[in-house]
A and B are shown apart, each in its own frame.
Chain A
Amino acid sequence: MTLIREQDFGTKARPGPATVRVRVDGRDVEVAEGTSIMRAAATAGVEIPKLCATDSLDAFGSCRLCLVEVDGRRGTPASCTTPCTDGMSVKTQTDKVQRLRAGVMELYFSDHPQDCLTGGNGHGCELHDLADTVGLVDVRYGQPETHHQDAAKDISNPYFAFDPAKCIVCSRCVRACDEVQGTFALTIAGRGFDSHVSAGQDQPFLESECVSCGACVQACPTDALQEKTLIQLGPPNRSVLTTCAYCGVGCSFKAEMQGDMVVNMVPYKDGGANEGHSCVKGRFAWGYASHKDRVTRPMVRETIEDPWREVSWDEAIAYTATRFQEIAAQYGAGAIGGITSSRCTNEEVYLVQKMVRAAFGTNNVDTCARVCHSPTGYGLKTTFGTSAGTQDFASVAKADVIVVIGANPTDGHPVFASRMKRRLREGARLIVIDPRRIDLVRSPHIEASHHLQLLPGTNVAVINAMAHVVVTEGLMDQAFVDERCEDVAEWAAFIALPENSPEAMEPITGVPAGELRAAARLYATAPNAAIYYGLGVTEHSQGSTMVMGMANLAMATGNIGREGVGVNPLRGQNNVQGACDMGSFPHELSGYRHVSDPTVRELFADLWGAPIHPEPGLRIPNMLSSAIDGTFRGIYIQGEDLAQSDPNTQHVTAALMAMDLVVVQDLFLNETAKYAHVFLPGTSFLEKDGTFTNAERRINRVRPVMKPVTGKQEWEVVVEISAAMGYHMAYANESEIMDEIAALTPTFAGVSFKKLDELGSIQWPCNEAAPNGTRTMHVDGFVRGKGHFVETAYVPTDERTNRKFPLLLTTGRILSQYNVGAQTRRTKNNTWHPEDVLDIHPSDAEMRGIHDGDWVSLASRVGETTLKAKLSERMPPGVVYTTFHHPVTGANVVTTEYSDWATNCPEYKVTAVQVTPAPKTKPLIMHQVPLESTLVEMGSASAGVAGRRA
């Protein structure tokens, strides 16, 4: 059992082809020009003592421990701040240098608690280790006087403590907060012996701007900043490399353990997505995996009014299989289906969709990407040929102009946001397109050049207007489009029409034409311009159209096919990309190949030994509508809480109640489980063995730190249900499942657990043409051959405000909570966001007699709920905003069934509402409108019921 300890080279690597040769303590080494002596020494295997230096931060030169002697130079320069020159000869262990180091250490310990010097409290304490290295056992300066020994410990943060008595004021925490995280929450206040780390304005950490990412804790060389779990449990004795189960960044972590018990999660420095950084969720909010709410035994019940009955796995599996077979026998295979989870591994997801297609005999399988990034799949496949983003996260470091549309990365993708902020601080320009003033618009050392604060529902109008500027002002990259694209002329003629101009669109979007023109010119004239977008693009009635509009703009300006550019979806969930890759959509098999393709069907049928239907199956919204119609009657739901996360809660719950069999596989009894007949306990990421694929197509390993507490891996349950239904699958382990995926999926052809262990991670496509994976897509050509321009006519949403519902509601996420909160609400992250609130502009509030903190009713045509109001000028008047992390709020009671025309991705971002003062009471959820009126005309089989919206 071993702990993984990455080498710390002391200072950052220097990029560039030119090299210099240096000699360190007699060892020759060749390093990049500009490399520090410290890093060169580490590369040569010589560790120079250091306290203020660490290779995630710029050199600081304050601790004076890293002094060395250089032949031909006077003095003893700091090796961290001194660059190598060609032919340099360095000595790191001369008598002079050793005396200086011992003296420096003695000074440090003259103002430091004695127990660090003499006792065994070194949980990786570098100060303690260095005392041993320099041979320090006694301090000559009398009784050590710790100037901050009376300073109170700051234990305000639920996850870490700050003990000023142990702080050596090396500034690593301050610099980590600045350079790595980009929040600038910390500083060194005071002078001389009064110098101390200050959070905010000498506030407790919890009350300051600190976002609890843990970068300061990780950077601290002593025990001044320390995780509370380390204090409580003691040091770990082994590490397991795994991947975070929260957002689509997919940070790599070392799960540090004592036996089967997680002590802490430490970001892995060699993680491709995060490079040693993390956020509050992945770093600290993993305790939900052992929460008391966790269900570990299968349960069944005849009806949803009956109490749950715990049963054995054999009984649960037999019951599930028998019921699905009964329903299929009576109503046809089309009456059953399943939903795969974007929280589960690729291997688990692959087997659920295989079970549905091969064992159930239907293509009625879908995934929760339906409600978030399904328009990304449609739009990018149509224009570029691949249903995924074009770049890796590191690409942002080469961008000159960054456009953020409908995303809030500092909250939703914080580790990626830190990269983006670093580039912005270096001088890249920022354009934000969002109804809400997100933090990025103005934050420490960052200010957006343009904030296009459009009205919700007008994305396509804005992007078309920007493209209009590009075309009509001669800003197209004609050489690029002539060589690499098709249908350019038709698109250019369409986009140049006067109705697409910024001036014509201004009354619709609310964006001043001059501002929009300036933003478009900035994007189009940048050497490298990149678009990053989120659910504020996709969760609209024209979500797919908007994705194609962004792709058009990127192609028109030549911003595809190299670093620093691209169209980059910020995918929300840890494995939503993977779930889509694995063939979870009802119309596609793995690798995004349509079920109507006979060659593809034959490939799968041969290997699976079961035919594949040639027609698309039902999407989630269609499953729900068909359930109400009576033609869809049994569903297997893997790791998704439809009753909380899907729009129009009344419609969802009515559909679930209409079904004969609802099987839920999850960690906890969630809102959907209230309507379930079978509950199959799932496994957390700490128990899974498999892979996740993040937003940059990076396949990362998920390794178990403990056995499944349920007694079975989720994939084993799926295999057993299939077998009980007469379809047998045989896998010895998860690696064999990935081998099958690779055999069937060209973009995964070169992927295996063995290769992942060798390379760390792999970005697909990984095949003969790209044996180590692919960082940047469409470099020499688009996957579909030529990039395809699509005319993107702006069609206003059917959701309109009126006198009864005069405001527009849009929804989003907050840093500390995650999606429906199933995980984060069961951790101390509730400290920051214990409830969802309604952000309302002060002028809207004043008109309604609403004050900050008042209970308000939020009502739409379909439902009503109550929550507290928070006055905020982040939105313009007329727009309100809330999150959906707490089921008690029921935010989706008010969202409607309007959806994207191409994919049915719900239009969460545009709901006409009214806000009124409510009595001081607990949250109340009411359904406004009778169910029949909420059915959306779609050609329902029950033609008499399909109706109009009330």
Chain B
Amino acid sequence: MANQISRQFIYLSDDEAAVKVAYHLHAFWEPRMIAGLEAHAALSPRDFDPIVLAATRILAEQYGAAPATH
């Protein structure tokens, strides 16, 4: 799903796309989904587009670590 999101911003530079993906995840994904993404990305980064990996770093930096759930 995250990879699918990143592909939508193919017209942007990788940095710009990562910002867009991070914003989308923060605005629409429930915290456990973000936590799951971050955990999966940490375990198997090759499963993800580099833009998604960059987006997870932006998420952590700008919005803090996601709680597992609320």
Binding site for B on A (CB under 8 A): 332-335, 362-364, 494, 541-542, 545, 586-587, 594, 596, 613, 615-619, 622, 626, 631, 791, 793, 795, 798, 901-904, 936-943, 946
Say yes or no: B68 contacts A941, CB within 8 Å.
yes
- What are some 20 contacts across the A-B interface (CB < 8 A)? A333-B70, A334-B69, A334-B70, A335-B69, A587-B27, A615-B70, A616-B27, A616-B28, A617-B30, A631-B32, A793-B11, A795-B7, A901-B7, A939-B40, A940-B33, A941-B35, A941-B36, A943-B36, A943-B39, A946-B36
Say yes or no: B69 contacts A938, CB within 8 Å.
no
On whether A939 and B1 interact (CB within 8 A), knowing A793-B8, A795-B8, A795-B10, the answer reads yes
- A460 CB → nearest B CB, Å: 10
Chain B residue with Cβ nearest A493:
B11
Say yes or no: B27 contacts A940, CB within 8 Å.
no
Say yes or no: B3 contacts A332, CB within 8 Å.
no
Chain B residue with Cβ nearest A948:
B47
Say yes or no: B5 contacts A901, CB within 8 Å.
yes
For A362, list chain B residues within 8 Å (CB).
Answer: 70
Which residue in A333, A615, A791, A798 is a CB contact (below 8 Å) of B30?
A615
Which residue in A594, A798, A946 is a CB contact (below 8 Å) of B40?
A946
Say yes or no: A938 contacts B28, CB within 8 Å.
no
Chain B residue with Cβ nearest A587:
B28
Total of A-B residue pairs, C-beta within 8 Å: 98
Say yes or no: B5 contacts A616, CB within 8 Å.
no
1/0 per residue, CB under 8 A from A, across B27-48: the answer is 1111111111111110110010
Say yes or no: B30 contacts A939, CB within 8 Å.
no
Say yes or no: B37 contacts A939, CB within 8 Å.
yes
CA distance A798 to B31 in the complex (A): 26
Task: With a 10 A CB-CB cut-off, give which of A586, A615, A631, A946 has the most chain B CB atoms.
Answer: A615
Task: With a 10 A CB-CB cut-off, give which of B24, B29, B69 has the most chain A CB atoms.
Answer: B69
- B59 CB → nearest A CB, Å: 11
CA distance A389 to B44 in the complex (A): 43
- A590 CB → nearest B CB, Å: 18
For A587, list chain B residues within 8 Å (CB).
Answer: 27-28
For B39, list chain A residues within 8 Å (CB).
Answer: 939, 941, 943
For A363, list chain B residues within 8 Å (CB).
Answer: 30, 70
CA distance A617 to B69 in the complex (A): 9
On whether A364 and B30 interact (CB within 8 A), knowing A795-B7, A937-B47, A939-B2, the answer reads yes
On whether A618 and B30 interact (CB within 8 A), knowing A795-B7, A941-B36, the answer reads yes
Say yes or no: B43 contacts A943, CB within 8 Å.
yes
For A332, list chain B residues within 8 Å (CB).
Answer: 69-70
Task: With a 10 A CB-CB cut-off, give which of B2, B24, B32 has the most chain A CB atoms.
Answer: B32
CA distance A196 to B61 in the complex (A): 79
For A941, list chain B residues within 8 Å (CB).
Answer: 32, 35-36, 39, 68
Say yes or no: B70 contacts A938, CB within 8 Å.
no
Chain B residue with Cβ nearest A797:
B4
- A696 CB → nearest B CB, Å: 27
On whether A586 and B30 interact (CB within 8 A), knowing A613-B70, A940-B36, A941-B39, the answer reads yes
For B36, list chain A residues within 8 Å (CB).
Answer: 938-943, 946
Task: With a 10 A CB-CB cut-off, give which of B8, B30, B39, B69 has the most chain A CB atoms.
Answer: B30
- Given pairs A364-B30, A795-B4, A946-B36, 14 additional interface contacts (CB within 8 A): A332-B70, A363-B30, A618-B33, A622-B30, A793-B8, A793-B11, A798-B4, A902-B24, A937-B1, A939-B1, A939-B39, A940-B40, A941-B32, A942-B36
CA distance A587 to B70 in the complex (A): 14
For A619, list chain B residues within 8 Å (CB).
Answer: 30
CA distance A615 to B28 in the complex (A): 8
CA distance A158 to B8 in the complex (A): 50
Which residue in A541, A618, A626 is a CB contact (below 8 Å) of B4?
A541
- B36 CB → nearest A CB, Å: 4
Task: With a 10 A CB-CB cut-off, give which of A542, A587, A901, A903 has the most chain B CB atoms.
Answer: A901
CA distance A102 to B8 in the complex (A): 75
- B60 CB → nearest A CB, Å: 14
For A613, list chain B residues within 8 Å (CB).
Answer: 70
Which residue in B8, B12, B28, B69 is a CB contact (below 8 Å) of A545?
B8
- B54 CB → nearest A CB, Å: 15
For B1, list chain A residues within 8 Å (CB).
Answer: 901, 904, 936-939
Where chain A touches its partner, the secondary structure class is: loop
Chain A residue with Cβ nearest B41:
A939
- The 5 A-B pairs of least Cβ separation, nearest first, read A939-B37, A334-B69, A938-B1, A941-B36, A939-B36
Chain B residue with Cβ nearest A795:
B7
Chain B residue with Cβ nearest A494:
B11
CA distance A223 to B9 in the complex (A): 64
1/0 per residue, CB under 8 A from A, across B44-70: the answer is 100100000000000000000000111
CA distance A615 to B66 in the complex (A): 10
For A618, list chain B residues within 8 Å (CB).
Answer: 30, 33
Say yes or no: A937 contacts B3, CB within 8 Å.
yes
CA distance A880 to B68 in the complex (A): 43
For A334, list chain B residues within 8 Å (CB).
Answer: 30-32, 69-70
For B4, list chain A residues within 8 Å (CB).
Answer: 541, 795, 798, 901
- A540 CB → nearest B CB, Å: 12
For A902, list chain B residues within 8 Å (CB).
Answer: 5, 8, 24, 28
Chain B residue with Cβ nearest A364:
B30
Say yes or no: B33 contacts A939, CB within 8 Å.
yes
On whether A938 and B2 interact (CB within 8 A), knowing A332-B70, A631-B69, A943-B43, the answer reads yes
CA distance A941 to B66 in the complex (A): 12
CA distance A901 to B9 in the complex (A): 11
- A936 CB → nearest B CB, Å: 6
Chain A residue with Cβ nearest B56:
A939
- A207 CB → nearest B CB, Å: 48
Task: With a 10 A CB-CB cut-off, give which of B9, B27, B68 has the most chain A CB atoms.
Answer: B27
Chain A residue with Cβ nearest B7:
A795
CA distance A37 to B31 in the complex (A): 69
Which residue in A793, A795, A943 is a CB contact (below 8 Å) of B44?
A943
CA distance A904 to B28 in the complex (A): 10
Say yes or no: A622 contacts B33, CB within 8 Å.
yes
Say yes or no: A626 contacts B24, CB within 8 Å.
no
For B2, list chain A residues within 8 Å (CB).
Answer: 937-939
CA distance A333 to B8 in the complex (A): 33
CA distance A793 to B24 in the complex (A): 17
Say yes or no: B33 contacts A938, CB within 8 Å.
yes
Which residue in B27, B34, B68 is a CB contact (below 8 Å) of A594?
B27
- B20 CB → nearest A CB, Å: 11
Which residue in B27, B34, B70 is a CB contact (below 8 Å) of A939?
B34
Task: With a 10 A CB-CB cut-off, give which of B3, B33, B44 has the most chain A CB atoms.
Answer: B33
CA distance A494 to B11 in the complex (A): 8
Say yes or no: B40 contacts A943, CB within 8 Å.
yes
Chain B residue with Cβ nearest A940:
B36
Task: With a 10 A CB-CB cut-off, give which of B2, B4, B7 has the most chain A CB atoms.
Answer: B4
Chain B residue with Cβ nearest A943:
B40
CA distance A631 to B2 in the complex (A): 20
Task: With a 10 A CB-CB cut-off, give which of B2, B9, B11, B43 has the most chain A CB atoms.
Answer: B11
Chain A residue with Cβ nearest B47:
A937
CA distance A332 to B35 in the complex (A): 16
CA distance A619 to B10 in the complex (A): 26
For B3, list chain A residues within 8 Å (CB).
Answer: 937
Which residue in A793, A938, A946 is a CB contact (below 8 Å) of B10?
A793
Chain B residue with Cβ nearest A490:
B11
For A938, list chain B residues within 8 Å (CB).
Answer: 1-2, 33, 36-37
For A626, list chain B residues within 8 Å (CB).
Answer: 32
CA distance A798 to B29 in the complex (A): 21
CA distance A793 to B4 in the complex (A): 12
Chain B residue with Cβ nearest A335:
B69
Say yes or no: B8 contacts A901, CB within 8 Å.
yes
Task: With a 10 A CB-CB cut-off, give which of A332, A541, A631, A941 has the most chain B CB atoms.
Answer: A941
- B23 CB → nearest A CB, Å: 11
- B3 CB → nearest A CB, Å: 7
CA distance A903 to B24 in the complex (A): 10
For B31, list chain A residues within 8 Å (CB).
Answer: 334, 615
- B29 CB → nearest A CB, Å: 7
